[in-house]
Structure 1
């Protein structure tokens, strides 16, 4: 809008705006956008599919046993609370057509519709959990007490 226009409603000084539009030269045709192939740019955060315990929120390692227990809190993984179809707002708290309510929801059951709920999360960790070395592969490192002081002193050596 022009700064010298007092009112914004239609009809007020429309002749001036149409004159300016006709003076404007048409834009040059733009080249078609190219699809970007390859890895994401560093500014974009990637996503990762993870399994989490519904009780304690612990990240389950890839290849975990869905019929087992959570390694941190020993919660049953084959239970309604861990299921993809668990919904507290649905009938019998399940989105699948089950004939009767399965109770309790945190105990192990033999439901035929069971699928472990995997979540898609932003991967904000410096190293991905899927690519992180396991504890057996990395040797424990002895604590180094004087490294920081030595590095500071090395700055001022001649």
Structure 2
């Protein structure tokens, strides 16, 4: 051991490497798993999302209004934005070729105008459920604050 060298977790490996000949076949196979949960097989696809307190919604790309399931091909009820447009599509990506993740023949010039794209699917997002109960009266907060200082 060197003068100032501290013993570490790789010291045992260093000594064994000096003694063993290098070449093919020197690696040991990983140990077999005998217990524990099964490993995820990536051939089955992505893991399902199980998040408590979430909801799946579609929002208008222009104003952010939550859209109901029947408004997929019309216009936004709040701002009138065309929903069958590139900005509202789940395959819209400004960084990819022709600004679409699907193979398209030509670029659509106006991304916020209605188009007849065959691969259109409305953008759906998963959001946290953040609804809080509203107070019944506006003076409840003031009354609670004043109750802190009562004697």
Fold match (TM-score > 0.5): yes
CA distance in 2, matches of 1:8, 1:107: 69
TM-score, length-scaled by structure 2: 0.55
Partner of 1:105: 111
Alignment of 1:59 with 2:56, yes or no, is: no
Give the SS at the match of 1:70: coil
CA distance in 1, matches of 2:65, 2:85: 16
CA distance in 2, matches of 1:144, 1:114: 46
After TM superposition, list the pairs within 5 Å mapping 1:127-142 onto structure 2.
none
Give the SS at the match of 1:92: helix
Partner of 1:9: 6
CA distance in 1, matches of 2:5, 2:75: 66
Partner of 1:92: 98
> After superposition, what is the alpha-carbon deviation per residue over 1:85-132, rounded to whole angstroms, capped at 9, x for unaligned?
0000111100111000012000000000000000011111148xxxxx
Give the SS at the match of 2:98: helix
Partner of 1:49: 56
Gaps of 5+ in 1: 1-6, 12-31, 34-39, 128-142, 153-158
Aligned residue pairs total 100
TM-score, length-scaled by structure 1: 0.53
CA RMSD, Structure 1 to Structure 2 (Å): 3.2
Partner of 2:41: none
CA distance in 1, matches of 2:55, 2:113: 28
Matching residue within 103, 114, 124 for 1:118: 124
CA distance in 1, matches of 2:111, 2:96: 14
Moved over 3 A (4+): none
**Do 1:45 and 1:124's aligned partners in 2 also have CA atoms closer than 8 Å?**
no
Gaps of 5+ in 2: 9-35, 38-49, 145-151
